[in-house]
Chains A and B, each alone.
Chain A
């Protein structure tokens, strides 16, 4: 089973994402900020990361940059999932190594569609 690490400081969003992702056949790990997420990745690199942008301690962009510099940090498919919805943010995310990008609010269809585009679900 593929593991998806859900990184978001909102417990509600993590819960919503968990429910959708579990239905799509993922095992879920959760982190509330970039630092926690980094600790997860160093212990067990997940196949996928659903990543919020604005979080305390370490934001999503900083996490992504550090992740991509880790050994095997290029392996996870990273999908941003954030309220930041302008081209500037999207381009910065892609430059930092994001694979896909979701603008909140999202629903199950959008999440599934994006995971499909990223090659994570058939």
Chain B
């Protein structure tokens, strides 16, 4: 790919998703776009870029964005946040929410492993009486239609179900379907899905007691990162919690959130922070 074509792609992705693509990773960009080039019948990457340049085809530009921002994930990724969700967040919220449902949002969840991991935890806790009748509503969102479709299907390859998922959970929740493993309909129905661009206005989504948004904002440019974190802060009640990725933080980005004492990776709304309209 020519440098000027790489710049077109970077501009398209940044404007739509806030994600900054490393211009030196030409090979990665080409690899990610190759299926799209094939699917849409272009002769080459150059032709795809040419069409974008001349026609400004919105659908095509979204497909390019889709191809470049979707990321690999796995079940129970990094483990610790899930142990914390089960051992601390759920009991605390069950105690404080009582009859009101606990709302949990897995933002930018790619192919769905994160919200389904949460669903398996909720299911196990419910079975063991840990929820004391409190309902837990799980939401999964992503920018990419294709990722969301895959997430909703609950179908995973043998490779995917072997990363992070304990074998007993596989036996309990999955069935073999040809070459793939299919999550049970009961588990799939525990998660509600929606295509959400984190850069859009998120006010209409309402409040969430727990938001997982991991390994997402670190790919964003600084302005987008601040915008997203401040919007997520607005979606949290006073005692809500935001879980970021291992190498991510709000420090130096926004004052709307602060680290939760003694809980690495967890952030809470800053008390008294002026909530901008």
Chain A positions near chain B (C-beta within 8 angstroms): 85-87, 90-91, 94, 98, 100-103, 106, 109-110, 113-114, 116-117
Contacting pair A100 B166 (CB below 8 A): yes
Min C-beta distance of A20 to chain B, whole Å? 14
Q: Name the prevailing secondary structure of the A interface residues.
A: helix
Min C-beta distance of B243 to chain A, whole Å? 20
B74 within 8 A of A: yes
Contacting pair B166 A87 (CB below 8 A): no
CA distance A98 to B162 in the complex (A): 16
Contacting pair B176 A101 (CB below 8 A): no
Residues on B with beta carbons closer than 8 Å to the beta carbon of A87: 171, 175-176
Question: Please, could you name 26 A-B residue pairs with CB atoms under 8 Å apart, sorted by A?
Answer: A85-B158, A87-B175, A90-B167, A90-B170, A91-B171, A94-B167, A94-B168, A94-B171, A98-B167, A100-B166, A100-B167, A101-B167, A102-B162, A109-B163, A110-B159, A110-B162, A110-B163, A113-B74, A113-B162, A113-B163, A113-B164, A114-B162, A114-B167, A117-B164, A117-B166, A117-B167
Contacting pair A103 B176 (CB below 8 A): no
Q: Which residue of A lies closest to B163 (CB)?
A: A113
Q: Which residue of A lies closest to B76 (CB)?
A: A117
Chain B CB count within 10 A is highest, among A90, A91, A102, for A90
Within 9-38 of B, Cβ neighbours of A (below 8 Å) are at: none
Contact pattern, B 163-202, Cβ under 8 Å of A = 1, otherwise 0 = 1101110110001100000000000000000000000000
Q: How many residues of B contact A (CB 8 A)?
A: 14
B275 within 8 A of A: no
CA distance A103 to B163 in the complex (A): 11
Residues on B with beta carbons closer than 8 Å to the beta carbon of A94: 167-168, 171
Contacting pair A116 B158 (CB below 8 A): no
Residues on A with beta carbons closer than 8 Å to the beta carbon of B162: 102-103, 106, 110, 113-114
B263 within 8 A of A: no
B79 within 8 A of A: yes
Residues on A with beta carbons closer than 8 Å to the beta carbon of B74: 113
Residues on B with beta carbons closer than 8 Å to the beta carbon of A116: 79
Contacting pair B176 A86 (CB below 8 A): yes
Residues on A with beta carbons closer than 8 Å to the beta carbon of B176: 86-87
Those 10 A-B pairs whose CB atoms lie nearest each other, nearest first? A101-B167, A110-B162, A117-B166, A113-B163, A100-B167, A103-B158, A113-B164, A90-B171, A109-B163, A110-B163
CA distance A109 to B176 in the complex (A): 22
Min C-beta distance of B246 to chain A, whole Å? 14
CA distance A121 to B185 in the complex (A): 33
Residues on A with beta carbons closer than 8 Å to the beta carbon of B159: 110
Within 99-136 of B, Cβ neighbours of A (below 8 Å) are at: none
Known: A94-B171, A103-B162, A109-B163. 11 other contacts (CB 8 A): A86-B176, A87-B176, A90-B167, A90-B171, A94-B168, A98-B167, A100-B166, A106-B162, A110-B159, A113-B162, A113-B163
CA distance A109 to B167 in the complex (A): 15
CA distance A85 to B179 in the complex (A): 10
Chain B CB count within 10 A is highest, among A86, A114, A117, for A117
Min C-beta distance of A42 to chain B, whole Å? 27
Residues on B with beta carbons closer than 8 Å to the beta carbon of A100: 166-167
Q: Which residue of B lies closest to A104 (CB)?
A: B158
Q: Which residue of B lies closest to A111 (CB)?
A: B162
Q: Which residue of A lies closest to B179 (CB)?
A: A85
CA distance A106 to B157 in the complex (A): 13
Contact pattern, B 129-150, Cβ under 8 Å of A = 1, otherwise 0 = 0000000000000000000000
Residues on A with beta carbons closer than 8 Å to the beta carbon of B171: 87, 90-91, 94
